[in-house]
């Protein structure tokens, strides 16, 4: 009953790699010669909706989980992606997609799609599906990192403004934020609908923890290249991913010629990882809603697996969760559920440290960067154009690409931060 | 030696008001009939630079204060504004400008200009002036609220992207943030230059406290309309502004036919207020660098003077200051130097609550809105176009105006928040 395994989407012009796994040396050589043909948009669009029973109707206990697969398949066809496989337990169903993942709870849907998928085109169909099982929207979230290749996106994903405009046609009380540097990697975030007058008492814990990593260590990417002699389970083992949550039910997939996706189930929680290993646009995302008292050790394991030169970390939790999270008190780096000093000890420094407090949720946003990127494998400028080239002045100032380019020097992983020490001055000198 | 007092800039087509002060009834009638002809861009561009002596040169103790007035006048001509008057004490000079204010310390410059001034065009001249007295840039800040009428701005102020692009041609390590809702009132913020390796020990306290207010109470605007029989000092007294810091040296000015500006000096600190009273685009800004242990009572006085339907509050302080600020502990609303509950008791609710931590500074950003705008004098939609009109779909999605319009329903002061109560649902229902 499974759909055929879909190939990792790529440019048709890409010469297929030999059907044998590349050596580390080959990966490095290939990466050094990488061109636009290898480009893939790893950063995912993430759409999350919480539902409540509609007025005067009684939703079944199964809610969205009662929806037929064919209905999801039609909805996903609007997004331009397919189901690869499904696993489930008594709490949720986890769909592995040709472009990322979908998680279905009775009253919650998380749809996460990468590449040039048109996620927001499926919103009306999602609402129709929910209505068919007696559910109405309570709370909506949409978020994504800035794209590497915004010009390759299809409407309405060409800019965050367009996305917000689309979302606002479906939902009330939308609030849109750009979190982090406009002229560096940042995170677009949208929330809508929940009424201010809803009393929040005895609400269950709800946390989403996410890490979006760029400039991945090429040598660590070997398990994410297809090898017909190895199973995807062996890729999860070789990379260390199968050890993140021992005992988890894991559904993993290595794409041809490269690329990796996995969903993991731990009781009523999930974790999901998607890797774009090619050096020209390397990206890995880690996301989980599994409740921990502290996310520091998990974050360190994820970092040790992918060795990014830079990453965004978000921790979003409702009031109940935030109060229960561990807190190392008395330091500037103390955050609920995170000991930031331990992350900095992995040779990172803080680029962005932002806290947004909403009525029902707090959002912690951190962006960390390697202290010594020169000790880290170099990678090409992902933006395609050299920022110092004459092209710079010709870029549409309103486009997403230009905000990435504007002053992006200090955020390019190849940048040597040490040159900042030259001519440093002390205030009051 | 003073320049002639410049009229409040306005559209040439505006019929001059009679040279007698309007009654409150006349103000309200005029405001109800207000058209685009009365529109003025109140929100200021704010450019702040901290300097250090250049290498191998010794700056005089007077620093920027030794610069001749004619040099400042030339620099300000590039911004398209003039000096109205100057007051000074042993610490600083405070210039009242035809469009807002300038503050000159030996090693710090704050330039704040409203309307369609071209502030960033003066950056090279500011750097040249600083160099002439042996000073080099240490730390740069640029910020402004979103414009009401972005299309009226001149290059490079037509969009924040353009401004960042301009700033990045002059300064290194620029970081740009949009703080607050993209589809509502927000605050654009840029910081550049200071090296990460600068040790910060025994640094003096440095705080900037700012309130940007919209939807002002029309009845409270009477003192800010020109009356030939009354001095500007009487306007400061009638409005209560002269009581904000008793004993301050105040330089105030009421513009014809309306508009008010003031600079106040308190020892080595300043406070400055600029008011655009006309209902179609009412706006007042309050800014001070005077060190207080707590800014709550000051904020309440400012609110009682202008009675805004909505305001942005920013409190930015260096590490030293943040540690010394008063803190009401144990509540969600506790912030350094601010008891937010007391602000909410003025019949406001929180729209945005954001904290950005930088290497040397923390930035607290709050946006508060009236709970019951229907009890508040109505004002016209400042955006010129009805957001529900067919025009909405025709707006350039990349323009600043469109981000104001996108989903701006809940941020328009005339919006009745109570309609949110309809059909409210409890999670888990």
Contacts of A164 in chain B (CB under 8 A): 182-183, 403, 406-407
Query: Best interface-test mutation with B: which of A108, A163, A165, A323 has the largest number of B CBs within 10 A?
Result: A165
The answer to whether the CB atoms of A182 and B168 lie below 8 A apart is: no
Q: Which fold has domain B36-374?
A: 3.60.90
pLDDT at A423: 31
Query: Is the backbone peptide bond immediately before B25 cis, with ω within 30 degrees of 0?
Result: no
pLDDT at B399: 41
Segment A365-382 mean pLDDT:
66
Q: How far apart are CA A373 and CA A370, in angstroms?
A: 6
Confidence of residue B425 (pLDDT cuts 50, 70, 90): very low
Q: Is A425 left (phi over 0), alpha (psi -120 to 50) or beta?
A: beta
More confident of the two residues A128 and B425: A128
More confident of the two residues A289 and B403: A289
Confidence of residue A265 (pLDDT cuts 50, 70, 90): very high
The answer to whether the CB atoms of A55 and B423 lie below 8 A apart is: yes
The answer to whether the CB atoms of A176 and B407 lie below 8 A apart is: yes
Contacts of B136 in chain A (CB under 8 A): 425
Confidence of residue A60 (pLDDT cuts 50, 70, 90): confident
Contacts of A359 in chain B (CB under 8 A): 350
Which of A38, A48, A81, A100 is catalytic? The answer is A100
Q: Is the pLDDT of residue A71 over 50?
A: yes
* Closest chain B C-alpha to A256 CA, distance in angstroms: 38
Least confident range from A53-57, B59-63, B391-395: namely B391-395
Count of pairs with CB atoms under 8 A, one residue in A, one in B: 175
Contact between B96 and B261 (Cβ < 8 Å): yes
Task: Give the pLDDT confidence of B315-345 residue by residue, as tens digits.
Answer: 999 988 998 998 877 677 789 999 999 999 9
pLDDT at B60: 79
Q: Using only C-alpha atoms, what is the Rg of chain A? A: 21
Contacts of B421 in chain A (CB under 8 A): 195, 197
Q: Is the pLDDT of residue A213 over 60?
A: yes
Q: Is the pLDDT of residue B416 over 60?
A: no
pLDDT mean across residues, chain A: 81
* Closest chain A C-alpha to B228 CA, distance in angstroms: 46
Q: Is the pLDDT of residue A56 over 90?
A: no
Q: Is the pLDDT of residue B194 over 50?
A: yes
Which of B38, B157, B253, B274 is catalytic? The answer is B274
Contacts of A136 in chain B (CB under 8 A): 425
Confidence of residue B300 (pLDDT cuts 50, 70, 90): very high
Which H or E run contains B124?
Answer: helix B123-132
More confident of the two residues A39 and A8: A39
Residues in contact with A190: Cβ distance below 8 Å, sequence separation at least 6, in sequence order: A140, A141, A142, A143, A163, A164, A167, A174, A175, A176, A177
pLDDT at B107: 95
The answer to whether the CB atoms of A195 and B421 lie below 8 A apart is: yes
Which of B30, B81, B101, B114 is catalytic? The answer is B114
Segment A341-367 mean pLDDT:
95
C-alpha pair distances (Å), A2 with each of A5, A97, A236: 8, 11, 21
- Whether the CA torsion A218, A221, A225, A230 is positive or negative: it is positive
Q: Is the pLDDT of residue B423 over 50?
A: no
Task: Give the pLDDT confidence of B140-181 residue by residue, as tens digits.
Answer: 999 999 999 999 999 999 999 999 999 999 999 999 999 999
Query: Best interface-test mutation with B: which of A182, A188, A334 has the largest number of B CBs within 10 A?
Result: A182
Judging by beta carbons within 10 Å of its beta carbon (0-12, 13-18, 19+), is residue A258 exposed, middle or buried? Answer: buried
* Closest chain B C-alpha to A195 CA, distance in angstroms: 6
* Closest chain B C-alpha to A192 CA, distance in angstroms: 10
* Closest chain B C-alpha to A22 CA, distance in angstroms: 39
pLDDT at B28: 52
Q: For the domain A40-374, what is the CATH code?
A: 3.60.90.10
* Closest chain B C-alpha to A367 CA, distance in angstroms: 12
pLDDT at A28: 52
Q: Is the pLDDT of residue B30 over 60?
A: no
Q: How far apart are CA A303 and CA A294, in angstroms?
A: 16
Residue A427: which of B168, B183, B198 has the nearest Cβ?
A: B198
What's A193's DSSP letter? -
Residue B181: which of A177, A184, A426 has the nearest Cβ?
A: A177
CA angle B395, B403, A178 (to 5 degrees): 140
Residue B429: which of A52, A352, A402 has the nearest Cβ?
A: A52
Contacts of A181 in chain B (CB under 8 A): 175-177
Closest chain A residue to the Cα of B166, Cα to Cα:
A406
Judging by beta carbons within 10 Å of its beta carbon (0-12, 13-18, 19+), is residue A292 exposed, middle or buried? Answer: middle
Which of A157, A186, A253, A274 is catalytic? The answer is A274
Residues in contact with B150: Cβ distance below 8 Å, sequence separation at least 6, in sequence order: B158, B159, B399, B400, B401
C-alpha pair distances (Å), B192 with each of B53, B196, B388: 18, 11, 40
Where helices occur in A35-175 by DSSP H, the ranges are 69-79, 123-132, 160-170
In three-state form (DSSP H/G/I as H, E/B as E, the rest C), the secondary structure along A223-241 is HHECCCCCCHHHHHHHHCH
Segment B292-309 mean pLDDT:
97
Least confident range from A47-61, A288-302, B352-366, B369-383: namely B369-383
Closest chain B residue to the Cα of A398, Cα to Cα:
B398
Ranges of CATH 3.60.90.10 domains, chain A: 40-374
Q: What's the ipTM?
A: 0.82
What's B258's DSSP letter? B
* Closest chain B C-alpha to A7 CA, distance in angstroms: 35
pLDDT at B25: 60
Segment B217-225 mean pLDDT:
97
pLDDT at B315: 98
Task: Give the pLDDT confidence of B197-211 residue by residue, as tens digits.
Answer: 455 555 789 999 999
Query: Best interface-test mutation with B: which of A164, A407, A428 has the largest number of B CBs within 10 A?
Result: A407
Segment B21-43 mean pLDDT:
63
Contacts of A203 in chain B (CB under 8 A): 427-428
Residue B407: which of A160, A174, A402 has the nearest Cβ?
A: A174
Q: Is the pLDDT of residue B19 over 90?
A: no
Residue B420: which of A195, A403, A427 has the nearest Cβ?
A: A195
pLDDT at B379: 38
More confident of the two residues A193 and B63: B63
* Closest chain B C-alpha to A69 CA, distance in angstroms: 25
Segment A169-197 mean pLDDT:
90
pLDDT at B38: 78
pLDDT at B160: 97
A44 is annotated as an active-site residue? yes
- Whether the CA torsion B9, B10, B15, B19 is positive or negative: it is negative
pLDDT at A194: 75
Residue B426: which of A198, A357, A424 has the nearest Cβ?
A: A198
pLDDT at A386: 26
The answer to whether the CB atoms of A178 and B180 lie below 8 A apart is: no
B261 is annotated as an active-site residue? yes
Confidence of residue A54 (pLDDT cuts 50, 70, 90): confident
Confidence of residue A373 (pLDDT cuts 50, 70, 90): low
Task: Give the pLDDT confidence of A377-397 residue by residue, as tens digits.
Answer: 443 333 322 222 222 223 333
Closest chain A residue to the Cα of B180, Cα to Cα:
A177
Q: How far apart are CA B59 and CA B194, in angstroms?
A: 19
Where helices occur in A264-318 by DSSP H, the ranges are 296-306
pLDDT at A415: 32
Contact between A303 and A311 (Cβ < 8 Å): yes
Segment B228-241 mean pLDDT:
97
Contact between B277 and B183 (Cβ < 8 Å): no
More confident of the two residues B286 and B57: B286
Closest chain A residue to the Cα of B371, Cα to Cα:
A196
The answer to whether the CB atoms of A427 and B176 lie below 8 A apart is: no
Task: Give the pLDDT confidence of A267-277 residue by residue, as tens digits.
Answer: 999 999 999 99
Q: Using only C-alpha atoms, what is the Rg of chain B? A: 21
Task: Give the pLDDT confidence of A105-137 residue by residue, as tens digits.
Answer: 999 999 999 999 999 999 999 999 999 999 999
A23 is annotated as an active-site residue? no
Q: How far apart are CA B347 and CA B371, in angstroms?
A: 6
* Closest chain B C-alpha to A193 CA, distance in angstroms: 10
Confidence of residue A332 (pLDDT cuts 50, 70, 90): confident
Task: Give the pLDDT confidence of A133-176 residue by residue, as tens digits.
Answer: 999 999 999 999 999 999 999 999 999 999 999 999 999 999 99
Residue B178: which of A182, A399, A406 has the nearest Cβ?
A: A182
pLDDT at B24: 58
pLDDT at B26: 56
The answer to whether the CB atoms of A175 and B195 lie below 8 A apart is: no
Which of A30, A38, A44, A232 is catalytic? The answer is A44
The answer to whether the CB atoms of B176 and A406 lie below 8 A apart is: yes
Residue B174: which of A174, A357, A407 has the nearest Cβ?
A: A407
The answer to whether the CB atoms of B168 and A160 lie below 8 A apart is: no
More confident of the two residues B376 and A182: A182
């Amino acid at each position: 009953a499974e759909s055929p395994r879909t190939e990792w989407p790529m440019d048709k012009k890409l010469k297929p790699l030999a059907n044998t796994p590349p050596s580390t040396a080959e990966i490095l050589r290939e990466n050094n010669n990488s061109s636009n043909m290898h480009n893939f948009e790893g950063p995912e669009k993430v759409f999350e909706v919480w539902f409540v029973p509609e007025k005067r109707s009684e939703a079944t206990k199964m809610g969205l989980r009662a929806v037929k697969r064919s209905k999801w398949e039609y909805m996903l066809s609007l997004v331009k992606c397919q189901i690869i496989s499904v696993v489930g337990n008594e709490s949720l169903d986890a769909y592995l997609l040709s472009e990322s993942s979908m998680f279905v709870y009775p009253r919650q849907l998380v749809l996460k799609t990468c590449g040039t998928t048109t996620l927001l085109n499926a919103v009306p169909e999602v609402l129709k599906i929910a209505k068919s099982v007696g559910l109405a929207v309570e709370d909506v979230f949409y978020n994504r990192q800035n794209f590497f290749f915004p010009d390759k996106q299809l409407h309405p994903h060409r800019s965050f403004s367009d996305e917000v405009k689309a979302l606002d046609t479906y939902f009330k009380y939308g609030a849109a934020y750009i979190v982090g540097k406009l002229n560096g990697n940042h995170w677009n975030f949208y929330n809508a609908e929940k009424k201010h007058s809803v009393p929040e008492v005895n609400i269950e814990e709800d946390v989403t923890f996410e890490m979006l990593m760029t400039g991945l260590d090429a040598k660590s990417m070997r398990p994410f290249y297809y090898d017909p002699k190895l199973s995807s389970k062996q890729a999860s083992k070789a990379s260390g991913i199968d050890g993140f949550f021992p005992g988890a039910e894991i559904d993993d997939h290595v794409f041809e010629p490269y690329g990796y996706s996995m969903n993991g189930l731990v009781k009523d929680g999930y974790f999901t990882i998607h890797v774009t290993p090619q050096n020209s646009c390397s990206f890995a995302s880690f996301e989980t809603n599994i409740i921990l008292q502290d996310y520091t050790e998990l974050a360190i394991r994820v970092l040790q697996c992918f060795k990014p030169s830079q990453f965004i970390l978000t921790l979003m939790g409702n009031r109940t969760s935030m109060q229960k999270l561990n807190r190392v008190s008395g330091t500037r780096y103390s955050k609920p559920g995170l000991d930031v000093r331990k992350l900095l000890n992995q040779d990172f420094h803080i680029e962005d440290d932002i806290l947004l407090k909403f009525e029902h949720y707090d959002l912690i946003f951190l962006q960390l960067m390697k202290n010594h990127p020169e000790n880290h494998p170099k990678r090409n400028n992902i933006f395609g154009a050299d920022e110092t080239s004459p092209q710079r002045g010709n870029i549409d100032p309103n486009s997403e690409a230009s905000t990435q380019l504007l002053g992006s020097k200090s955020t390019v992983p190849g940048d040597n931060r040490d040159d900042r020490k030259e001519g440093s001055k002390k205030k009051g000198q």
